[in-house]
Structure 1
Amino acid sequence: MTQNTGWGGHGGGWGGTPPWGGWAPAPAPQPGVIPLRPLALGEILGGSFSTIRRHWKQLAGVMLAVQAVILPVMALEVGAAVAAVYRHIEPVFDPPFGTKPTAEHVVPLIVAGGTLFVLLLVTGGLGMAVLTALCPAVLKEAVMGRPTTCRAMWRTSLQRTPAVAGTMLLTTLIAGSPMLAVMAVWLPLMFSAASGDVTPAMVVLLPVVLLVAAPVTVWLSTRLALAPAALVMEGIGPVTALRRSAKLVRGAWWRIFGIIMLGGMIAGAISYLIQLPFNLIGMLAVIPAAADQPEGSGPTSDMITVLVVAFLLMLLGAAVSQVFQIGFTQLVSGVLYVDQRIRREGLADAILAELASTTPATGPAPAAPSAPAQPEEPTGT
């Protein structure tokens, strides 16, 4: 008998052979967006679409709120970096004829560029961590068929953001370690080859090694792909989440890799279709305004207005398409996590037990109509 240990438990299997010999089992219960049984490909993709359809307000609300905070912060970082080195830009990129940029101007630009890269990486990573924490939190409620609110999802996402950010960092370091090791050898050899210290043949061999390292990176990335869902749904730490993902993926790597790849392709195609009308409208608005622009004159106020409107339309289209692309890919991974736990750990019984324990009492159930007495059948254990 399966032990119902909740979302965080690692109980026994669920399902088994049909009772009473050859009788067909009853349909699996479905309190939410997926039936509580091992899922087929269509049900995994359908469950992801159903979650977006039922909880689009929570997903879009939190994601757009995150972008409304992250994008201005990144713009301020870029503006501050440009302002700090503004006087060094012209001497480096447009020096007087016959002269070369000096270290006095080059070094500040390199330092500012490196600092800006780190700041943008950290800011974007934190925003992505919030979105990555949001999708499993919404999916958990969707699987159980429970309503939720933007405020509750925002609070849950922020609470799990530091742990999700740590998981993403560890995943990047672990999965990217083969590629980073190859690049750490390749770049010094490239510089040495340029100075004549290393034969070109030694450098040519490195892309071959890179081709060997790339499949290892893909293999590790897939092994750790379910870690964010495990972390948010089970309330565990980053290292434990990585171990849980590796355990759940073991024996099903090709299936999970293929479904994640297919989900990413579907998300990319639909997000492109979402963004396309915004880009077309923006471009069609600019073309007539540019045609009416007097030759040799500066931009008119109408032209500037059209350009601003077109830019805002394209920005809105990019934001909406990104919301779908990030949300759908994360939801596919989350449904895969639920599916693997249903297959291996009895999560279906645990979900039903949790729903039964949280359902408010509504009084005694009405008595069923009397039926003719039937011979008592043996009870399965």
Structure 2
Amino acid sequence: MTQNTGWGGPGGGWGGTPPWGGWAPAPAPQPGVIPLRPLALGEILGGAFSTIRRHWKQLVGVMLAVQAVVLPVMALEVGAAVAAVYRHIEPVFDPPFGTEPTAEHVVPLVVAGGTLFVLLLVTGGLGLAVLTALCPAVLKEAVMGRPTTFRAMWRTALRRTPAAAGTMLLTVLIAGSPMLAVIAVSLPLMFSAASGDITPAMLALLPLVLLLAAPVTVWLSTRLALAPAALLMEGVGPVTALRRSAKLVRGQWWRIFGITMLAGMIAGAIAYLIQLPFNLIGMFTVIPAAADQTEGSGPTSGMITALVVAFLAVLVGGVVSQMFQIGFTQLVSGVLYVDQRIRHEGLADAILAELASTAPTAGPAPAAPPTPPQPEAPTDT
């Protein structure tokens, strides 16, 4: 039994090849970036690119707004952590000759490092959750061929950010559970081997266990890959979104895995090409300044300026390439979700019905012209 949740409902799908010699069916409707029928590989990738091309202002606008909040917050967290343990840095990393760092200085650095790691992880995860909610929201409008605005997408993404963060956390815990189990077992074994309680030969079993756990992690990750799209397009909670993803991927695991991997490689290659010019700008800015630097002298103002320009260039390139990489992979996952629902749940009919119900209706019929007054009949006096 198919499940009628959120965007669309069960029913017949589109597509299919006519028998040899038969008549060809009419082409499937295409109100937006993809035709409403089962999609081929090129159409899935093309749908993601078309969404970026048509709605790049909304995508880039929200992504830049997220980066404008996340990066300064991360910088403040790093600055606060360094300021809190500044007096312990030199005794640990540059102790006097012949002495070892004491626990008085090592412990604060370890605590500050662990706290900073957690804070950066939470901050970055919340920013990624906004982008995870944004891409399916934009894709839904792109599939239906409807215009959208920055404000609408910003509000939608923020409203679904807690649910997206919950979905991401559950996905990491479920898909990463085999690897987490290996780490939980390996750390005590490594400490025991270092103290001599067990032989180091027992550690040779860890790579074998790791090889067994990695395929399970990949399998679970692919099963849950469509959860972000289900979360936003159907308006469900994190647990239901994970279940919906597992149901939609069932029987199509290798196809989903292959397309997802291909999309990741394409996104990585394009992100590298985006970042390369910025890296070259930074390199060619620093090299002349370094050549003019006198040996043994302190950094000149020109060198400091070149380093700042190089850092900003690399930072901008990294931000732009990261935004494209995240956006493209999320859009491909969203198109795969739409494709799976078209194939198995008749989403095409639901989309057409929703478009028909929201189409502007004709205005009221014009009123009939007034009837001219009739002359009065003469009366006998």
Normalising to structure 1: TM-score of the pair? Answer: 0.92
Distance change in 2, residues 1:143/1:17 (3 Å): closer
Q: Residues 17, 173 of structure 1: CA spacing in aligned structure 2 closer, same or farther, 3 A cutoff?
A: closer
Matched, 1:130 2:130: yes
- CA deviation profile, 1:257-282 (whole Å, cap 9, x unmatched): 00000000000000100110111112
Contact 2:6-2:236 within 8 A present in 1 as well: no
Distance (Å, rounded) in 2 between the aligned partners of 1:73 and 1:268: 26
Aligned to 1:8: 7
Q: Contact 1:7/1:350 (CA < 8 Å) preserved in 2?
A: no
For 1:49 and 1:325, the matched residues in 2 are separated by 12
Q: How does 1:263-274 map to 2 (within 5 A)?
A: 263-274=263-274
Shift of 1:340: 0.2
Q: Counterpart of 2:111?
A: 111
Letter in 2 for 1:58: Q
| Contact kept in structure 2, 1:4 and 1:349, CA below 8 Å | no
Amino acid at match of 1:165: A
Q: What's the RMSD between the two structures over aligned residues?
A: 2.0
Aligned residue in 1 for 2:198: 198
Q: Which consecutive aligned stretches of 4+ in structure 1 deviate over 4 angstroms post-superposition?
A: 3-7, 16-21
Say if 1:56 and 1:296 are closer, same or farther in 2 by CA, change over 3 A.
Answer: same
What is the CA–CA distance in structure 2 between the aligned matches of 1:364 and 1:43, rounded to whole Å? Answer: 41
TM-superposed deviation, 1:252: 0.1
Structure 1, 282-291 or 141-150: larger mean CA deviation: 282-291
In structure 1, what is the Cα distance between the partners aligned to 2:3 and 2:249?
22
**Higher mean C-alpha displacement, 285-294 vs 126-135:** 285-294
Give a deviation string over 1:34-72, Cα, whole Å, max 9, x none.
000000000000000000000111111111110111011
Greater mean alpha carbon deviation, residues 29-38 or residues 190-199: 190-199
State the identity %.
86
Q: 1:225 to 1:18 in 2, by over 3 A?
A: closer
Measured after TM superposition, the shift of residue 303 of structure 1 is 2.1
Deviation at 1:202, TM superposition (A): 1.7
Deviation by residue 1:170-200 (Cα, 9 ceiling, x = unmatched): 0000000001111111110011011111122
Cα distance in structure 1, aligned partners of 2:6 and 2:13: 14
Partner of 1:242: 242
Matches of 2:279 and 2:58, distance apart in 1: 26
Tell me which residue corresponds to 1:57: 57
Q: Kindly tell me the number of residue pairs found equivalent between the two proteins.
A: 363
Report the Cα distance in structure 1 between the residues aligned to 2:14 and 2:280, rounded to whole angstroms: 51
Shift of the 300–252 alpha-carbon distance from structure 1 to 2, 3 Å rule, reads: same
Larger Rg: 2
1:1-381 pair list within 5 angstroms: 7-15=6-14, 22-362=22-362
Tell me how far apart the structure 1 counterparts of residues 16 and 336 of structure 2 sit (CA, whole Å). 23
Residue identity in the other structure for 2:13: W
> Partner of 2:176: helix, strand, or coil?
helix
> Matched residues in 2 for 1:106 and 1:4: separation?
56
**Structure 1 stretch displaced more, 314-323 or 293-302:** 293-302
Task: Give 5+ residue unaligned stretches, structure 1.
Answer: 366-381
SS of the aligned residue for 2:92 comes to helix
| Aligned 8 A contact 1:137 1:233 in 2 | yes
Letter in 1 for 2:192: S
Aligned-partner Cα distance in 2 for 1:116–1:217: 27
Q: Distance in 2 between matches of 1:9 and 1:267?
A: 30
CA distance in 2, matches of 1:292, 1:89: 32
Contact 1:6–1:350 under 8 Å retained in 2: no
Shift of 1:27: 0.1
Contact 2:33–2:145, Cα closer than 8 Å, also in 1: yes
Note if contact 2:7-2:347 (Cα within 8 Å) is conserved in structure 1.
no
In structure 1, how many angstroms separate the alpha carbons of the residues matched to 2:224 and 2:8? 19
Give the Cα separation in 2 of the matches to 1:184 and 1:314. 37
Aligned-partner residue type, residue 205 of structure 1: L
For 2:220 and 2:320, how far apart are their aligned partners in 1? 30
Deviations 1:328-352 (A, max 9, x none): 0000000000000000000000000
Q: Distance in 2 between matches of 1:211 and 1:150?
A: 45
Q: Secondary structure at the match of 1:236?
A: coil
Q: In the alignment, residue 271 of structure 2 is paired with which amino acid?
A: S
C-alpha displacement at 1:296, in angstroms? 2.6
The Cα shift of 1:138 comes to 0.3
Rounded Cα–Cα distance in structure 1 between residues aligned with 2:4 and 2:304: 61
| Unpaired stretches in structure 2, ≥5 consecutive residues | 366-381
Contact 2:7 2:350 in 1 (8 A): no
